[in-house]
Structure 1
Amino acid sequence: MAQFYSAKRRVTTRQKITVTVNDLDPFGQGVARHNGKALFIPGLLPTETAEITLKEDKRQFARGEVSRRLSDSPERVAPLCPHFGICGGCQQQHASVALQQRSKSAALARLMKRDVNEVIAAEPWAYRRRARLSLSWQPKTQRLEMGFRKAGDSDIVNVTRCPVLVHRLDALLPALRDCLAGLKAVRHLGHVELVEAGNGPLMVLRHTAALSAEDKDKLERFSHSQKLALFLAPQSEILEQVSGESPWYSSDGLRLSFSPRDFIQVNDGVNQQMVARALAWLDVQPGDRVLDLFCGMGNFTLPLAKRAAEVVGVEGVADLVAKAQENARQNGLQNVTFFHENLEDDVTKQPWANHGFDKVLLDPARAGAAGVMQHIIKLSPGRVVYVSCNPATLARDSEALLSAGYQIQRLAMLDMFPHTGHLESMVLFVNHK
């Protein structure tokens, strides 16, 4: 019987070779060339030479593992985290921040087929204002595991500290572990979410069995001692506030209220700069009418409303629309209207689109906005700012605007998640017609 080679078939090997890395991919892997194809090696940096073991050899690429590093790059740094290399949260702590930013900018430039104009960054450490830690009781060791998942594994890394967390949350970890480990319901804990809001930290505890009065009292006393708001989640869709105030955060000096489960940008320092840059790029004038698509609870919409004649925010999640409306009211902004719409539908047919828009901003999820681009073109705004958390879908969606006569005037890499493989960006498109 004839057998045919499949390009998808995994070919494993234990061959040892010596290579020199010439590039760093966005995920922190060194890239070398071997037999005319890319060879990806975690843990190696550009200019470094190492003996490696080939782990996987496919038709178009190969993967290797370092056996012995023979030279060090001048841009190799000592990781700050004691769990780096085991925890799956960060991939690039061994590389200087400058190298990380250059490699991400180069990857963005390749996808967008043009140079990156600027890198928008804040502090590279203590930047995360939100984290979700997994919890698991281990009967054999009689201990509670609390932490993040291992790289490429579902096992939990017991985290004692996390230098990318804001200082307040990082400092909370030991006391939080002790509190949770002492609960009678310790075997029925799912995860704990920590958020640093503008009015202090909060914690959401997911539990899969009812908590005793004693456990609830212990948690409430812990929340008071640590000065944090406490929320309990007996089911995934239920949230019970036990103590503290409802959270809020700032955007362009405005106060935005949110639910602990709502999406907010993890990196406050970059978010503030991102909003400021979007406002500057759009060049919002007092007479402008501006459309904000995928507007969420108003992170961009409300700052836009401080400057424009009228702003319309459109969002596909009804709860977020309600929060955006309430945030507009609380900030005294009466020139902004929010609508709950399916953003795949033709928004140009809505009554509020009849008068057209001078400027458009969109901030979609990772899937991008393929179904929206033709509708934006119909509206024919002079300027469009696209904020992206996925460069691949950004590159795809950009083609529609470029084909319609728009030109890219500015391209920025957002260093929203230092030390990780996440690559975010924003683009200014201008129509000179």
Structure 2
Amino acid sequence: MVQFYKAKKNTPTRQKFAISVEGLDQFGQGVGHYQGKTCFVEGLLPGESGEVAVIDNKRHFIRAKLITLTHTSPERRKPLCPIYSQCGGCQQQHISEALQHSSKAEALLRLLKPVGVEKMDRVIHGQSWHYRRRTRLSLRVDQAGQLVMGFRRKKSSEIIAVKECPVLVHKLNTLLVPLQQCLAQLDAVAQLGHVELVAGDNDKVTVVLRHLRPLSAADLKILEQFSHNHSVSLFLADGQQHTLLSGEMPWYGINQLNLYFNPQGFIQVNAEINQQMIDNAIKWLDIKPTDRILDLFCGVGNFTLPLAKFARSVTGIEGLAELVSKAAYNAQHNGITNVAFYQHDLEQDVSRQSWAKEGFDKVLLDPARAGAAEIMPYICALQPERIVYISCNPATLARDSQLARQLGYRVIKVTMLDMFPHTEHLESMVLFERH
């Protein structure tokens, strides 16, 4: 009898070594050195040491994960979230808030050093827990037929069930369990995509339910009853449009103004930092009653309308027609008449736009992560006295700051905005003036 043997696959053993780290990058990774290479270690803080396993060994750097902690930093904190080690929503709950601020600020300064930035204004921060007024939760039915509602696991598409989240505002937190129980009753439970929760400043939380097929009359009745029992506004989204099943459009308040917004549209998720950011922009622009201001990527008027209280006029430009319409409505609703809103894709040429031929004394821009490389030459050609740039991506901010410098502007002030405490996200504000 002939026997055949199959060779076992060789499973490479991950290299392990001991290391101490001296710094922290903006993503919350410890930074140390091993065998002449920079080593980034997830989970290790400055002043700490431990045994780590190599995840990725490149020519100039190593990425590793912590296996055993042998020396602990006083900056280490116990995470408040019971599923912090699994959930991919937060990355820095184990780090003190002071160290989060300083490490992000230092990372921002490093990126802006080539344009002459040497110091940081105060970090703009606020409440670090229960600050997030908007969230999206994924939905799926597991192998046992049970509905799972939650966030994605770290570096995975798997959904981790969430019953409470310490970064969500209380109004959203208390809704998580009853909402999951309600959705689990629906006949169309397997055809649900995701659910979004938004806490505006009106009394009702707004719930947007994404469904992949039309809902039955019985399902609609269950949802409507839930909206009444929990005092929520409920929108249904089928991928083409959203329909208000029960309740009202949400709004939020800033500078004694009420701004209405589409529940699926963009708003700043941290209300406290948003207000401080607006106040700081007004201060940095040093607005005079004769100033004509240009607000680019204006959204629903988050900056436009507060600035208009101090200026001669403000012109807001936004790429999405729905946001332009909402911004104009908000101006009318709040009795502000010295503003004008236009729709234009700011990644495209603006030279033929009617508003682009006007003169402006000051400019504010709040672009998406891609930054504003296409519009910066136009902004600088206007020769405004001051430019305030709100950034959600330090890499594109650094690139656009280099461009502004080449076109005659220099950075006067920069500050970090702690918009998303306990995460790796780094937001900032920069003030430019002409050389």
**TM-score in same-fold range (> 0.5):** yes
- Conserved 8 A contact 1:348-1:378: no
Deviation larger for 359-368 or 61-70: 61-70
1:206 to 1:355, Cα distance in 2 relative to 1, 3 A = closer
1:96 matched residue in structure 2:
96
Residue deviations 1:41-76 (CA, integer Å, cap 9, x gap): 111111001011222211011121222110110000
> Matched residues in 2 for 1:219 and 1:27: separation?
40
Residue deviations 1:95-126 (CA, integer Å, cap 9, x gap): 00111111100100000112221211110000
- Conserved 8 A contact 2:295-2:303: yes
1:230 to 1:355, Cα distance in 2 relative to 1, 3 A = closer
Structure 1: 4+ residue segments shifted above 4 A: none
Question: Is 1:84 aligned to residue 88 of structure 2?
Answer: no
Q: How does 1:218-297 map to 2 (within 5 A)?
A: 218-233=222-237, 235-297=238-300
The amino acid across from 2:135 in the alignment is: A
Report the CA distance between 1:174 and its aligned residue.
0.9
- Conserved 8 A contact 2:149-2:180: yes
The amino acid across from 1:298 in the alignment is: G
> Matched residues in 2 for 1:13 and 1:393: separation?
38
Number of residue equivalences:
419
1:36 matched residue in structure 2:
36
> Matched residues in 2 for 1:109 and 1:371: separation?
24
Q: How does 1:201-212 map to 2 (within 5 A)?
A: 201-212=205-216
> Matched residues in 2 for 1:111 and 1:218: separation?
52
- Conserved 8 A contact 1:313-1:336: yes
> Matched residues in 2 for 1:158 and 1:123: separation?
25
Q: How does 1:53-202 map to 2 (within 5 A)?
A: 53-113=53-113, 114=117, 115-138=119-142, 140-199=143-202, 200-202=204-206
- Conserved 8 A contact 2:412-2:433: yes
* Aligned residue among 293, 310, 320 for 2:323: 320
* Unmatched segments (≥5 aa) in structure 2: 1-11
1:13 to 1:370, Cα distance in 2 relative to 1, 3 A = farther
Deviation larger for 375-384 or 180-189: 180-189
- TM-score for both structures, normalised by structure 1: 0.94
Report the CA distance between 1:320 and its aligned residue.
1.0
1:307 matched residue in structure 2:
310
Q: Classify the secondary structure of the residue corresponding to 1:326.
A: helix
Q: Classify the secondary structure of the residue corresponding to 1:324.
A: helix
Question: Is 1:386 aligned to residue 389 of structure 2?
Answer: yes
- Conserved 8 A contact 1:267-1:416: yes
- Conserved 8 A contact 1:54-1:65: yes
> Matched residues in 1 for 2:85 and 2:380: separation?
46
Q: Classify the secondary structure of the residue corresponding to 1:325.
A: helix
> Matched residues in 1 for 2:312 and 2:84: separation?
49
The amino acid across from 2:400 in the alignment is: D
2:346 matched residue in structure 1:
343
The amino acid across from 2:300 in the alignment is: M
> Matched residues in 2 for 1:55 and 1:375: separation?
44
> Matched residues in 2 for 1:349 and 1:380: separation?
19
1:307 to 1:348, Cα distance in 2 relative to 1, 3 A = farther
Q: Classify the secondary structure of the residue corresponding to 1:418.
A: coil
2:3 matched residue in structure 1:
none
Compute the RMSD of aligned alpha carbons.
1.3
* Unmatched segments (≥5 aa) in structure 1: 1-11
> Matched residues in 2 for 1:410 and 1:156: separation?
41
- TM-score for both structures, normalised by structure 2: 0.94
Residue deviations 1:394-425 (CA, integer Å, cap 9, x gap): 01001122123322111010111111111110
Report the CA distance between 1:17 and its aligned residue.
1.0
The amino acid across from 1:404 in the alignment is: L
- Conserved 8 A contact 1:91-1:420: yes
1:134 to 1:355, Cα distance in 2 relative to 1, 3 A = closer
Q: Classify the secondary structure of the residue corresponding to 2:396.
A: helix
Report the CA distance between 1:237 and its aligned residue.
2.3
